[in-house]
Amino acid sequence: MPIVEVTHAPGVAESELRELGSVLPHLVSKAVECPEEPYDGDVKPGDMEIRFRMRGPLDRSGLDVVIEVKSKWFESRAADRQERVDGLHREIRAAMGLRDFGVYLALPVSAWSQGD
């Protein structure tokens, strides 16, 4: 289950953030798809967590939006992680028209459990 954190500048319109929230599940799922966790085109509850946070007065960033994606490490994901994050950046730009944003992909060794 990827965890996606979107940090944004105060001036980013809520409508843009809502649109970003609607495209991220599919785009992130495609970007992190691998044999160990295939993507069937249908993001279900529990498949992804997306959190939005406005930058605070002490935060420092040169970008309007920073999207951090954390997804479980698998060798097949790690082998081409730069291509994955570059592709995700391109797909977000194409879908949204965003210009001043960055995408960070982290693949930690982790585990996930979700109740029934």
94 assigned to some structural domain: yes
Per the domain annotation, does 98 fall within a domain?
yes
CATH number at residue 13: 3.30.429.10
In a domain, 115, yes or no: no
- Residue 114 inside a domain? The answer is no
Give pLDDT, residue 116: 67
Q: What is the pLDDT of residue 51?
A: 98
Q: Is 84 within a domain?
A: yes
Tell me the CA distances in angstroms from 50 to 6, 25, 30, 53, 96, one per residue in order: 8, 8, 15, 10, 17
Q: Print pLDDT tens along the chain (116 aa).
A: 799 999 999 999 999 999 999 999 999 999 999 999 999 999 988 889 999 999 999 999 999 999 999 999 999 999 999 999 999 999 999 999 888 999 999 998 887 777 76
Residue 113 within a domain: no
**Residue 19 lies inside a defined structural domain of this protein:** yes
pLDDT at 1: 77
User: Is 102 a domain residue?
Assistant: yes
* CA atoms in the 13 A half-sphere facing the CB of 73: 7
Enclosing domain of residue 96: 3-106
| Total domains present in the chain | 1
